[in-house]
Amino acid sequence: MRLGGRLGGAIDVLKDIDERKRPVADALKDWGLGHRFAGSGDRAAIGNIVYDALRMRLSHAWLMDDEGPAALAYAVLIRQWGYSPDALAAEFADDRFAPPPLSDANLAAFASRNLADAPAHVQGDIPDWIQPSFEAAFGEDWLTEAKALSQRPTLDLRANTLKASREKVIKALDRSGAQPAPIARNGIRIAAGEGASRLPNVTAEISFQKGWFEVQDEGSQIVSDLVHPGDHDQVLDFCAGGGGKTLAMAAAMNNKGQVHAYDADRKRLAPIIERLRRAGTRNVQVHDDVRQLQALKEKLDVVLVDAPCTGTGTWRRRPDTKWRLTPKNLEERVAQQQEALAEAATFVKPGGSLVYITCSVLPDENDRQIEGFCGDNPQFSVEPVLETWSGLFGEAAPRPPSRDGSTVTLTPATTETDGFFFSRLRRQA
Ligand SMILES: C[S@@+](CC[C@H](N)C(=O)[O-])C[C@H]1O[C@@H](n2cnc3c(N)ncnc32)[C@H](O)[C@@H]1O
């Protein structure tokens, strides 16, 4: 397919997402099934246009004075992929699969508007109602942080040290441009790529099948590492989901001690079994019923709450969720977090620690949540994290924003990772 056909495909997918309120992955998959002549390069290019359009939806629409799918998709090619409107018109002139050209009104708006004149939340490509939360989280840096959340993410992997060193994995993936990640000790990074370029399908590699690595954002690896359990600790991953952090902790503990993995949702937990097998872990027990945890009350050295959250920190990967989020969703997540924290705290032994993580950057889900919990539960107090950070990643590693060194917030702008919040609360001995 030529560029015109790919652009047309992306416009169809964006329409489908808008009209039928569908998840991006489903809409892209359906488009592929209905257009079997399209090759994998075409499908990847269409996916890139769609995701790029959603990441910068507000600023594209403002500059084009049009929020329709065609204006958004054209804006991607012009603003993000480096084509001029004239070059596109010339390219599409003899391409019968190209979409109709941009309207004169779109072209005039684009030629005359300057993004610096747009409302600040439009410049930052975030919903207007969430701007105050960004300001509260980042002060005068909030716009830089918001903009960084609208860029393409890298593809990050974690070498599974139970089976392979980071160097061995990088060697196995040398065709993919894999490099050591900047901060995480076992992290590997593949650059995001530009324009139509395709990320490698690393899960099809033999080395993946052998369990040498996991796909895991570097931020997720860092917060798993910061949990920092001792080799012989008894750990409960109370919101284990598919097991991303369970696997990372189990490997960091060198298959010693014990990690109990539990999640209230059995369906989310189910894939953990196959992942644990592939990774060669022997120190994990999976629990799909809270009653199985009764014997662990007040017994555990470390309890991790990787809480359900709005996922604002993952907007680079799931940009559609940025526009679907509502104040009501935020309220619901905050309530779920309080519930999960209260339940999880009952498993921490005296002197043990309760670790609270989210993949959000919003204070309501992070620092404020922790302040509220400690206010209600004075036997818990926040333990500073930055010392562990330096010990694990070195003094030279980029420092994440931190409220007086106690909790940390990772972000694309500061640590080049997804957004994550990490805090450790110590229960009085
Ligand atoms: C952010 S996800 C976990 C991701 C996972 N830890 C990982 O690293 O792949 C949050 C999880 O919390 C679970 N959850 C929500 N409320 C819970 C509760 N009260 N008790 C236990 N799990 C809960 C959800 O089912 C969801 O799987």
- The class level of CATH for 155-215 reads alpha beta
Evaluate if residue 58 carries a pLDDT over 90.
yes
Count of CA atoms in the C-beta half-sphere (13 A) of 67? 9
Q: Which residues line ligand 1 (CB under 6 A)?
A: 238-245, 263-265, 268, 306, 308, 336, 339-340, 343
Q: How far is the CA of 4 from the centre of ligand 1 (A)?
A: 42
263 among the known binding-site residues?
A: yes
Q: How far is the CA of 8 from the centre of ligand 1 (A)?
A: 38
pTM as predicted:
0.97
pLDDT tens-digit readout, 146-199: 999 999 999 999 999 999 999 999 999 999 999 999 999 999 999 999 999 989
For ligand 1, atom 18, the nearest C-alpha belongs to 340
Q: How far is the CA of 305 from the centre of ligand 1 (A)?
A: 8
Ligand 1 pocket mutation pick from 260, 263, 266, 292 by most atoms within 8 angstroms of CB: 263
Evaluate if residue 137 carries a pLDDT over 90.
yes
Give the ipTM.
0.99
For ligand 1, atom 27, the nearest C-alpha belongs to 241
The mean pLDDT value for 46-64 works out to 98
User: Which atom of ligand 1 is the closest one to the Cα of 269?
Assistant: 27
User: CB–CB of 181/218 below 8 Å?
Assistant: yes
- The class level of CATH for 218-427 reads alpha beta
pLDDT class for 228, splitting at 50, 70, 90? very high
pLDDT class for 401, splitting at 50, 70, 90? confident
- pLDDT for the residue 404: 79
Domain ranges across the chain: 3-118, 155-215, 218-427
For ligand 1, atom 7, the nearest C-alpha belongs to 244
The mean pLDDT value for 310-320 works out to 97
306 among the known binding-site residues?
A: yes
Evaluate if residue 330 carries a pLDDT over 90.
yes
Evaluate if residue 299 carries a pLDDT over 90.
yes
- pLDDT for the residue 135: 98
Which residues are the active-site residues?
359
